[in-house]
Structure 1
Amino acid sequence: MMNHRRRLLFVTLSNIGDLVMTTPLLEALHLSYPEHLIDVVADARSAELLRPCPYLGRLIYRDKKAGWRGSWALVQTLREQHYDVAVDLRTAFLTLFIRCAQRGIKRRGSAAGAHAVQHHFTALRPILGPHVDIPPARLWLDEAAASAARELLSDLPGGRRLVVAPGANWPGKIWPIEHYAALIEMLRRVIDSVIVVGSKADYALGERLRASAGQRLVNLAGSTTLLEAAACMAGAHAFVGNDSGLGHMAAALNVPTLTVFGPGQPARYRPWGAAAMVLQAPNDGLRALQPTVVAQALSDQLARTSLPQ
């Protein structure tokens, strides 16, 4: 049966971390228009994270490799619905071709703000009104993901779990795996078990960590969906990882998160949340960032949270 509730359209970004950084705006739209469902246009690789969102209408996939034919097919799909508000964080043209009463477009150079989340809000403030505060990033978990996580972690000891994400989308962002191994050893007295998350490309890195950490580490790299990985991270004592989407996911789950940056702009692209911090290597040289420094930063981060150490 068709749902006749009024609708908004939200065109989000494609990469995992970028999508997570748009969830504060998605939440603010819901708070501003609580009676509406929100249809979301997203990439298939990251859209899974939005599937359990309670105010989601339709999840519509956009394939950026499909060219103009794919874009036109997407326009035709969107024109089937009339939207009260359409917000586009990705293109400057898509909402011009659909039926909507009000448009919000984040054009290049149209907004200011130190962080990408602030940038989104500054550009789209007229849509939200002046009195809407910026919410934290967030993720929603469903029972299927939670059940899968319980099964995947069933052999690990309980207590304080550290999540480690040793991979990234290019080598220059990866803190040396031997540094991760040394960090895990330093934390042996305060961490009961370790969960490695990542893609299939990160599996070998996880195995190198498992060789040194033993039975108290489970290597899930490449063996979970994004939602299952999120469910495995939820409730962890802490997260340590490189500049990747997984750090954004951990922060959105309110896990104390330490992201190690080499090259990059942490002031603009760090995970958004009160429980998130970053540590940038001197002169962008990740090898020079010593495990003792990361261990101390993580200890300081945990001391600032309400979670017991």
Structure 2
Amino acid sequence: MPAWTGGGPKAPRPEPRQPAVTGPSPLRWRPSGRIPLEIVHGERDLTPGIGVLQDRGGNPRADEPMSRLAGRLRIFARAIPRLLIKPLRRESRHPRRILIAHHLLLGDTLLLTPLLAKLREQYPQSQIVLACPKAIVPLYAGRPFDVTALPFDPRDSKSVRDVLLSGPYDLGMVLGDNRHSWLALGAGCRWIVGHSGDRPAWKNWPLNRSVPYPDTAAAWADLATELIDGPPPRAYRPADWRAPQHAALPEPSLLTQPYVVLHPGASTSVKRWPNARWRDLAQRVEALGYLPVWTGGPGEAELIRAIDPDPHHPNLAARLGLGELWHLFAGAQAVVCPDTGVAHLGRLIGVPTLALFGPGNALIHGAGRYWREVPFVPITIADMPCRDQPFIFRREVAWVRRCDRNETTCVAWRGDHADCMGRLSVESVYNALQNVLVKV
């Protein structure tokens, strides 16, 4: 059964609430079996730290301090000698081989899609390689934008070695955490570009060009495309991405009628919508003549059963791999879910997707020029007063407004949910759902 998982100072800690690439072996890797869902709930999009995992805001989470040591030593052993000749490196006007170095989870990895599209438009003959968490690699088996996904896990010394040996590259692009500029350098990238402002400063040393975040608000997916020159890519079309392989869906007899997928799970309780509202929404979906179909991770089967015990409403929690989830979404009339990796997957597939944004920022992670033709509807409270933390990927950006608090530190916890989620009424979600169903 698949497992589910998802420049400036750190965000201040809030007060607690009171009461086919040429080269050696790496690209011979082939996925087998079902695609695990261990990262679908990775909407916090953890990026590696030293001894910790860090989320978009730069806050630490538990990690095994020694688990990455072998990989880091291998990276630095190859990168440090190359750092010495950094002044001699020159930018190629026509890069033939390009590496995208990162360790984002599902949601933010999929948000790199406009960058892939722009790279392909700017460099139609170039070989583009995307370092990619192993569990996500099978999504790229159809080679969208003719990109090769190379499995990378900083805790897996073999995958680190394989990325390092996959070079050299003419251009390296670093997204999210700039510590991966060292990976790009170790892999033989002759020119490395990333966003400025990461801390501590040593993460930025391999960069040849640092691009600041803009002074005005923008979607992060669009910001990623500005790391290279040229016009924005054309708008995304679902035909740009071939569906991954999948096994047969469970309970196929129930899925013959039109259905709407409801996905209540999230990586953190502050992103959860109250159970009673999910139940109410499911009843309204059924009253419209659609079958409510529930999805979730292994730990969420009981949660969904508590929300909706009706055996006629399929509970597919812990029963789907990522390929099967894609196939289920592709056949749905709509998907409703919190701000999570699942929301970005729905947008990629082209199914009408309603994403409930509470602590997250819908402008940064739910909008964007590139996705303008896809039926994606962010539902949020635009000016939530406690969505007030100006940090993204450890960078302080004046226009960023996010909240990275948890249930303990949430300043507006309402018994079983955060106020930012509680302010999203059933009526508002239902009305938005009706609007997209009319267009289906």
The alignment's TM-score, normalised by the length of structure 2, stands at 0.59
Of the three residues 329, 346, 352, the one matched with 1:256 is 352
* Contact residue 75 and residue 94 of structure 1 kept, 8 A: no
1:57 alignment partner in structure 2: 148
Alpha-carbon distance in 1 for matches of 2:302, 2:367: 26
* Contact residue 100 and residue 131 of structure 2 kept, 8 A: yes
2:208 alignment partner in structure 1: none
Of the three residues 376, 379, 392, the one matched with 1:279 is 379
Post-superposition offset of 1:156: 1.4
Residue type of the alignment partner of 1:110: P
* Contact residue 334 and residue 436 of structure 2 kept, 8 A: no
Of the three residues 185, 192, 207, the one matched with 2:305 is 207
2:225 alignment partner in structure 1: 121
1:84 alignment partner in structure 2: 170
1:193 alignment partner in structure 2: 291
How many positions carry a matched residue from both structures? Answer: 290
* Contact residue 275 and residue 307 of structure 2 kept, 8 A: yes
Q: Does 1:21 align with 2:156?
A: no
Alpha-carbon distance in 2 for matches of 1:299, 1:2: 46
Rate the CA distance shift 1:261–1:239 in 2: closer, same or farther, 3 A. same
Post-superposition offset of 1:139: 4.8
SS, match of residue 230 in structure 1: helix
Q: Does 1:220 align with 2:309?
A: no
Residue type of the alignment partner of 2:114: P
1:290 alignment partner in structure 2: 425
RMSD: 2.9
Rate the CA distance shift 1:107–1:173 in 2: closer, same or farther, 3 A. same
* Contact residue 52 and residue 140 of structure 1 kept, 8 A: yes
* Contact residue 39 and residue 60 of structure 1 kept, 8 A: no
Alpha-carbon distance in 2 for matches of 1:31, 1:189: 46
Q: State the Cα deviation string for residues 183-226 of structure 1 (Å, max 9, x = none).
A: 111122334322222211222222234414x41x2222222222
* Contact residue 111 and residue 119 of structure 1 kept, 8 A: yes
The structure in which a higher percent of residues are strand is: 1
* Contact residue 12 and residue 22 of structure 1 kept, 8 A: no
Rate the CA distance shift 1:198–1:26 in 2: closer, same or farther, 3 A. farther
Post-superposition offset of 1:106: 2.8
Residue type of the alignment partner of 1:300: N
Q: Does 1:110 align with 2:212?
A: yes
Rate the CA distance shift 1:94–1:14 in 2: closer, same or farther, 3 A. same
Post-superposition offset of 1:80: 4.1
Residue type of the alignment partner of 1:242: P
Rate the CA distance shift 1:81–1:157 in 2: closer, same or farther, 3 A. closer
* Contact residue 337 and residue 354 of structure 2 kept, 8 A: yes
Rate the CA distance shift 1:151–1:97 in 2: closer, same or farther, 3 A. closer
Of the three residues 130, 148, 155, the one matched with 2:231 is 130
SS, match of residue 94 in structure 1: helix
2:9 alignment partner in structure 1: none
Alpha-carbon distance in 1 for matches of 2:348, 2:423: 29
Alpha-carbon distance in 1 for matches of 2:141, 2:379: 32
Q: State the Cα deviation string for residues 272-305 of structure 1 (Å, max 9, x = none).
A: 63311111258543234321221012222344x4
Rate the CA distance shift 1:42–1:157 in 2: closer, same or farther, 3 A. closer
Residue type of the alignment partner of 2:249: E
Alpha-carbon distance in 2 for matches of 1:191, 1:19: 35
Q: State the Cα deviation string for residues 94-152 of structure 1 (Å, max 9, x = none).
A: 32333235433233471325111121122x132xx23644646875323x31xx2x432
SS, match of residue 172 in structure 2: strand
Alpha-carbon distance in 2 for matches of 1:197, 1:166: 8
Larger mean Cα displacement after TM superposition, 156-165 or 274-283: 274-283
Residue type of the alignment partner of 1:287: G
Rate the CA distance shift 1:2–1:285 in 2: closer, same or farther, 3 A. closer
2:242 alignment partner in structure 1: 140
* Contact residue 10 and residue 41 of structure 1 kept, 8 A: yes
The alignment's TM-score, normalised by the length of structure 1, stands at 0.81
Structure with greater Cα Rg: 2
1:42 alignment partner in structure 2: 132
Of the three residues 167, 172, 191, the one matched with 2:265 is 167
Larger mean Cα displacement after TM superposition, 236-245 or 180-189: 180-189
Percent identity between matched residues is 23
Query: Which ranges of structure 1 fall in alignment gaps of 5 or more residues?
Result: none
Alpha-carbon distance in 1 for matches of 2:339, 2:422: 15
Residue type of the alignment partner of 1:203: A
